[in-house]
Amino acid sequence: MRSPDVIRFLLRAVCFTPLVGVVLLVDWVCAQPPVRRLFTGTLDAAAEALVAGKTIRSQIDMADLKPIWIEHLQSRPDVVVLGSSRMLQIRQDWFQPRILWNLAMPAGDFADAVAIFQQCLETGKHPGLVLLELNPTLTFDEKSHVAPALAPHFRHALLRYGIFPPVFFSGPLTLDTLRWDPRLFARQGPWGVSDTLEPAAYRLHPDGSAEWMGTESGATPDAVEQAAISEMHRLDPEHRRWRTSSQPRWFDRRILLAFLDDLRARAIRVVVVLVPVHPAAFNFYNRQGGYDDTWIRRDMAARGVTVIGSYSPAVAGATRDDFFDDVHVHREVLRRFLREGKIVD
């Protein structure tokens, strides 16, 4: 490159510097607690309704709402549920008189679990028992970041474990605040106190458990199987890897082992839950290398961690009647696993 060209390139780059500085400044200002509370009043109001014992109907991303809910809760849980939507039907009344917080969330993966549990630790609300759902790949490639509300906690956890964050640009350069759902800034947010279900919303209970249209569909086993077969042939590449691979990245596995060691040092019991997959879907994905729990069971046995359930419906004792879609079982199946593992009566 000729010298004049280099100079022109550098001058153009310098012209963008103020813009970058403005973006970083706006992100930093919005992250400050007083300003953030002004922008996220919708989340605070929804969290307060839950704390008051009300069931809400919501379209808010649970990864945005549940961290705010934790901030508003004054009690300390005995049991915490971490995982994806496959764990959302686990309920408080199964554990009476123990207090349960269901911190699972749709599309939640192990990174989300680490982050939201770190928030529990930072707020002094850690439990005595963690129910942890795992997928063999641990994290979902499509998610380049955890949710904005969880991102700082995820970085704190990695630093506490002595693990450098996998993304070089961390801290303010992640622009976490600017990734919030813009609907949250509206005065009238997408939620309300209600027991009803709507196609684009979910029903969230005061214990963090939830239902959505799929849980209440009442579809016949034949219809569920046909939908499962259709779904497995329409997967995008990221979801296909998530369901056809059974090996995590080395970095994610290192985080898992550090997470387990940290909880053991705190005398917090961990029970890993493997939720079965619909028989048609399991046969399809397992032939391609998916849903093999070998490494999970080996690593958990080495640390004395109990594993309940199985990805295999045959091993788990689940039939196609127990599913309402390709990867979600009816809540009775989850409760049976917990009974068999002597977690609940």
Residues 5 and 108 in one domain: no
Half-sphere exposure of 188 (CA within 13 A, CB side): 0
Residue 329 phi, psi (nearest 5): -100, 160
Q: Is the residue at 345 inside a domain?
A: no
Residues 27 and 45 in one domain: no
> Sorting pLDDT into bands at 50, 70 and 90, what band is 1?
very low
Measured CA angle at 333 (ends 327, 335), to 5 deg: 125
Supply 129's token pair.
Answer: 């028992």
Task: Provide the domain limits for residue 285.
Answer: 39-340
Residues 87 and 143 in one domain: yes
pTM of the model: 0.86
Three-state SS at 80:
strand
Beta carbons of 174 and 140 less than 8 angstroms apart: no
Cis amide linkage into residue 199, ω under 30° from 0: no
Residues 82 and 190 in one domain: yes
Residues 1 and 126 in one domain: no
Q: What is the pLDDT of residues 244-268, one digit of tens each?
A: 999 999 989 999 999 999 999 999 9
Q: What is the pLDDT of residue 163?
A: 83
Total of domains in the chain: 2
Residues 19 and 148 in one domain: no
Q: What is the mean pLDDT of the chain?
A: 85
Residue 161 phi, psi (nearest 5): -75, -10
Q: What is the pLDDT of residues 18-68, one digit of tens each?
A: 654 554 455 555 555 555 555 566 788 999 999 999 999 999 889 989 999
Residues 141 and 10 in one domain: no
Residues 247 and 289 in one domain: yes
Q: What is the pLDDT of residues 261-295, one digit of tens each?
A: 999 999 999 999 999 999 999 999 999 999 999 99
Residues 43 and 18 in one domain: no
Q: What is the pLDDT of residue 40?
A: 65
- From the CB of residue 232, how many other CB atoms can be counted at a distance below 10 Å? 19
Residue 233, judged by CB atoms within 10 A of its CB (0-12, 13-18, 19+), counts as exposed
Query: Above 70 in pLDDT, residue 6?
Result: no
